[in-house]
Structure 1
């Protein structure tokens, strides 16, 4: 008796093809020109297959971006903790700068930002699945630095994260200056001056 095809495997391979096609297209075309039709054609699936899993172009873009980080988040998110908060934050901020400058990541991040501005539901999903877990991992590392006396015990950690990341995000968003390791280090130095006991 011939083996029946496994629809689950076929569905997962179609899903992965759609996410890969979305990332590829975002690198090739302006976000405004990205369409469900183009994603379907590139992935080799019908439009109805995409609409079966995602309600909108923004939702597909979000999952395509999320898939870039899936392997790292399956084991849980943790920042390095060598006992030296300055060194650890510089490693993290340099990696963030490199990621924002990488075209593979930059196109989906920019597209996702456009969608989040206009879609409160997608914004909530982004916060729940990505931003909140990342922020909690960052605050866990900052709490460790507080216990070690490297950061003031009464420091507002939510505000500390904003001080650290907002300038980087602003520079990236407006393309107002280069994102370099030196810039990442300067941000860490400045923020730690404010946070030290």
Structure 2
């Protein structure tokens, strides 16, 4: 195959569908790279991170295997997120406590969670970074150690030479500020920062 001189505009649904229907592997690779992480984040609200990755890989491979059935007027983004949602829900045991809690969360924030654009991280990361930069340096450091490095309050207190109560206060204040600054993203921020998908 001759090397393409232009990059694929993955936002142009008709072009992407046309290329996929023609068996264009470069187009599929671009589609995969564009949607993989957002779809995994979306699925991980319902299933474990490992299962989310399996669901997304299965979904993307299904699209490739069934590419000739795709229609130019069909939104690939909507199709991908719908398939991932259904596959994720089908793989969750309805009897488990975790499943009931997740389903209630999903129903409560359905509008936000079901908007595919919610899962493209650039804007969210930028807003989170901006919110954290408004905090005193010691609050940022405490938050980083706790949420990003997984250290306990006691470990952070020992590392910073402060009391566990001080650590608790800093984390509490950080959460309050983040909730205020990121209110429109809060369900996803909370899910990403406070849920263990291992």
Flag whether TM exceeds 0.5 (same fold).
Answer: no
TM-score by length of 2: 0.30
